[in-house]
A and B are shown apart, each in its own frame.
Chain A
């Protein structure tokens, strides 16, 4: 299973999908594109406490974190 984690006011919302299920992958890709279009930053976990930004949907990423657009405080 792969997980998309979206930061929000509840802490986060998680969406799980099976990478071997084409319908689920298409749904996950659609969600990725929608969130990116809304200004979210996507980062995939690459190790214990390490991550990298991703520009495109990666169905093989175990966990993808979506961070709302960053602003100066």
Chain B
């Protein structure tokens, strides 16, 4: 019992410091700003989707695009790495592609950049992308 203060006091002090840090606007503001940026990115993406792509996005957080050069079908899933799935005529994954805008853009921006790139400069963007082909999955 006599040792209780040795444990209790540091724990109380730690709790006070953690509470103060969590209440600090710089910490709260950072995550809130990031959340707002992510929401803004998804709003931009939604505004640039076709009506069909918007329906797919609302239902499943993914949408399909047709490559401008090959006519191949791709499914772009919410994510920022290996999230572009190339599909065969039955809808099965045959390859996964990874490319994105450089710099720290938000997820919605990455997805929109991937859509526009595949729809307007497919061969060019796939030439710089990393890929995994079917046997890996």
Contacts and interface: CB of A to CB of B under 8 A. Distances in A.
Nearest to B53: A49
Interface bracket on A? 20 to 34
B50 interface: yes
Interface stretch (B4-12, B17-25, B33-41, B87-95): B33-41
B122 to A, nearest CB: 12
B56 to A, nearest CB: 11
B109 A73 contact: no
B135 interface: no
* Chain B binding surface SS class: helix
Contacts of A8: 103, 105
B36 to A, nearest CB: 7
A45 interface: yes
* Chain A binding surface SS class: strand
A53 B121 CA distance: 8
B104 interface: yes
A51 B101 contact: no
B41 A12 contact: yes
Interface string A34-62: 00000101010100111111000000000
B50 to A, nearest CB: 3
A9 B103 CA distance: 8
A11 B53 contact: no
Contacts of A71: 99-102, 128
Contacts of B121: 41, 53
Interface of A: 5, 7-12, 39, 41, 43, 45, 48-53, 65, 67-73
Interface of B: 33, 36-41, 43-44, 48-51, 53-54, 80-82, 98-106, 108-109, 112-113, 116-117, 119-121, 125, 128-130
